[in-house]
Amino acid sequence: MNSKYPLFINNQFIETAEKQNIINPSTGKVITEASLASMKEVDFALSSAREAFDHGPWPQFSLEQRKEFILKICAGILDNAAELAQLETQNTGKPIKETTFMDIPSGAKTFEFIANNFIDYLKDEQPVLPEGAKARLEREPVGVVVLIVPWNYPLLIACWKLASCLAAGNTVILKPSSLTPLTALELAKIMHKAGLPAGVVNVINASGAKIGEALCADKRVDMISFTGSNEIGKQILQYSSKNVKKLIMELGGKSAALVFGDADLDVAINSCLVSIFLNQGQMCTAMSRFLVQESIYDKFVAGFVEKARRIKLGLAEDFQTQMGPLISDSQRKKVIAYIEKAKAEGAKVICGGKIPEAPELKNGYYFEPTLLIDVSSHSHVFKEEVFGPVALIHKFSGSDEAVALANSVDFALASCIWTSDISLADGLAKKINSGTVWINTYGMFYNQLPYGGFKQSGFGKELGREGFLEYTRVKNVITDKSSEGKPLVNYWYGF
């Protein structure tokens, strides 16, 4: 691991006077330090990205040339996969099994998929018009794009955004979370080695509170793609209103899994455990609300608790670990505060709910997998995102009640339906208000399919053709094909 992590601006690795310590959440110890951007570096990144788009070669490169660069980045990620997985684990507390087999290879696969498909996505459309007119719809890059990436999937979500953004011909300022900047800064080295022209990608690290407004309000920025909390998303909307620009907002979630009496109970329970405790529950798509049909409610609760108690907490770098620490002490305190509030509102903790006592975990930010029952549908914990390993189980009688409960919150990102009646599931999928509905599965993200939410979970898409095209703008080019070259408009005033 590097002893220091510089910024990357205009193909230069820049160490700044101000540094930050990077903490390993498993141990609470400092693992390295990273440079922090001041307003000077923010301005340099903005001007470099703007110059690279307006006057550099990148937007003029052929699509095949762009494809070569995207594939080089993919290869670079795979060549450094083991080191990236280790770094992601040390920086986030995410178990090494997850970073090795999910996060890093999935990030590389996104670049590979986009490289092999974006040329088809960019083909001009030829609308059929009345005789005498011809038009084509051209897809162009948007311009300078700010990509703001969260701390829960630092490399993977950066890859989701970067692959499409670069393939479309844009130039980029990537801002990782200041809690987890390391793999983004390593990715800068991979992109530099791939030979991208100066200014095409710039990676800057600082807190959003310090540089967020300067990045998002600046007139040199054409588009912002943000993944993070609803609260910060609202701030970005305010900043961006100072100079109108395009936005993608992938915000929070309070997702529900609907478990019906005819579901395979073991499969549903095992899968529901993953859907809330993977990555310590720090997922926007975490199924934090289990709505269970009353006929199987008691069996589901008993089975869920029995298996949740067997989940192995441990140091993130141990391949036997199933759940690592939360990202920070402040995040753990937030989770505890939600549990205390839930208890005050009548909920009962029947599993977990406390900091583990194992001596080997005492210095990390660990918290037990937690289950609540007797939770009112009007309570804070039912409606608000906890972003930690906390689930609640709420019973329902029929499908109409289940849908009403699922749709009763402000978020609409994802949902699950567990039933052997696929006809029922298909009908419910049309009624549930969420951007993704998984039927008898969870967490299946495909590069071919778009991902994004509704309501307070945001707008716009990542991945798939739809997600790629978010990073383009459409130009309508119309040619008059009137006979003798004299269009109707020529005669309007009769001169």
Who's near 446: CB < 8 A, 6+ residues apart?
Answer: 463, 464
Q: Say whether both 197 and 279 belong to one domain.
A: no
Work out the average pLDDT over 235-259: 97
If asked whether residues 134 and 190 sit together in one domain, one would say yes
Q: What is the maximum span of the chain, computed from C-alpha positions, in angstroms? A: 92
Same domain, 420 and 352: yes
Does residue 412 sit in the same domain as residue 370?
A: yes
pLDDT the model gives residue 4:
84
Note whether residue 116 is domain-resident: yes
486 within domain boundaries: no
Report if residue 350 sits inside a domain.
yes
pLDDT in tens, 16-38: 999 999 999 999 999 999 999 99
Residue 337 lies in a domain: yes
Examine residue 445 and state whether it is found in any structural domain, yes or no: no
Mark whether 242 and 260 lie in a shared domain. no
What is the per-residue pLDDT for 133? 87
Give a yes or no: residue 494 inside a domain.
no
Strands 7-9 and 12-14 turn out to be antiparallel
Known catalytic residues? 250, 284
Q: What percent of the chain has pLDDT over 70?
A: 99
Structural domain contains residue 463: yes
Is 205 in the same domain as 320?
no
Q: What is the pLDDT of residues 442-463, one digit of tens each?
A: 999 999 999 999 999 999 999 9
| Same domain (yes/no): 325, 207 | no
- Is residue 360 within 8 A of residue 388, CB to CB? The reply is no
User: How many Å separate Cα 143 from the centre of its chain?
Assistant: 21
Please say if the pLDDT value at position 143 is more than 70.
Answer: yes
CATH of the domain at 381: 3.40.309.10
Number of domains in the chain: 2
Q: Check whether residue 288 and residue 370 sit in a common domain.
A: yes
pLDDT at 419: 98
Does 187 share its domain with 94? yes
Q: Could you read off the pLDDT of 375-394 as tens digits, one per residue?
A: 999 999 999 999 999 999 99
pLDDT for 3: 64
Domain span including residue 322: 256-439
Instruction: Specify whether 213 is located in the same domain as 340.
Output: no
Q: How far is Cα 370 from Cα 376, in angstroms, rounded to an integer?
A: 17
Least confident span in 125-129, 353-357, 417-421, 457-461? 125-129
180 and 162 fall within a common domain: yes
**Same domain, residue pair 348 and 426:** yes
Q: Inform me whether the pLDDT recorded for 129 exceeds 90.
A: no
Q: What is the mean pLDDT of the chain?
A: 96
pLDDT tens for each residue of 281-303: 999 999 999 999 999 999 999 99
- Domain membership of residue 26 (yes or no) is yes
Split at pLDDT 50, 70, 90, the class of 131 is confident
Residue 1, pLDDT > 60, answer no
CB-based contact 289:259 (threshold 8 Å): no
The confidence score (pLDDT) of residue 291 equals 98
* pLDDT over 80 at 2, yes or no: no
pTM value? 0.96
